[in-house]
Amino acid sequence: MKTIKITFLALALSGYAATAQDTKTDKHTLEIKIPEVAILDIESTGESNAISLAATAPIEAGNALDFSKALNTDLWINYSSIVGKKSDPTREVTVQVTSGTIPSGIEILVAAAKDAGQGEGKVGSPVDELILSTAPQKIITEVGSAYTGNGPKRGHNLTYKLQQKKDAYGEIDFDQSGSLTVVYTLSDK
């Protein structure tokens, strides 16, 4: 009888010990991955991203070309950006002419407006109006982790203007009419 009691007690304790190994809590690891993002595109309220700027010819002898209506506001810069906080936490947008020749005697100005407010995050700040050139120039600075929204009327509206260079009317040449390629780049500073 003593052997049965000891065996029963041993079996009861071993069952208790087996259930005592399970706990009310447990743990595991969870890996989080946030991708670096730097995407930019140009959207248009028109049918395409191609725009045209043209001076108006005078209708009276002795008058100059009229550049007052040679402007366009159809294009919008949209971007998505996720930056790292350990490195420089902001980016910038630059603009430059990469092909074609700006005609003599004229300048092409471009300005980016303040973000339209259709996105979220640290959207960039536009700089003053620029005279386009083949050298990259900052047009929007201080872009952090942000998105502007996608499509026209989201992001930064671009205004292009054509104007005569000061004291350079004699350099204007109608044979220099043509096309330019203007490139915008979102990059780390």
Distance from C-alpha of 188 to C-alpha of 93, rounded to nearest angstrom: 9
Q: Which two tokens stand for residue 164?
A: 């005569």
- For residue 3, is it within any domain? no
Question: Which residues lie closer than 8 Å to 51 by C-beta, 6 or more apart?
Answer: 44, 72, 74, 75, 160
Q: CATH number of the domain at 162, please.
A: 2.60.40
| Number of domains comprising the chain | 1
> Going residue by residue through the chain (189 aa), what tens digit of pLDDT does each one get?
455 555 444 445 555 555 556 789 999 999 999 999 999 999 999 999 999 999 999 999 999 999 999 999 999 999 999 999 877 789 999 999 999 999 999 999 999 999 999 999 999 999 999 999 999 999 999 999 999 999 999 999 999 999 999 999 999 999 999 999 999 999 998
Domain limits for position 132: 37-188
- For residue 140, is it within any domain? yes
- For residue 17, is it within any domain? no
Q: What is the helix (H) or strand (E) element at residue 4, kind and residue range?
A: helix 2-20
- For residue 148, is it within any domain? yes
- For residue 30, is it within any domain? no
- For residue 18, is it within any domain? no
What pLDDT does 15 receive? 53
Question: Which residues lie closer than 8 Å to 106 by C-beta, 6 or more apart?
Answer: 55, 67, 162, 163, 164, 165, 168, 172
Roughly how many angstroms between the first and final C-alpha of the chain, as a whole number?
87
- For residue 7, is it within any domain? no
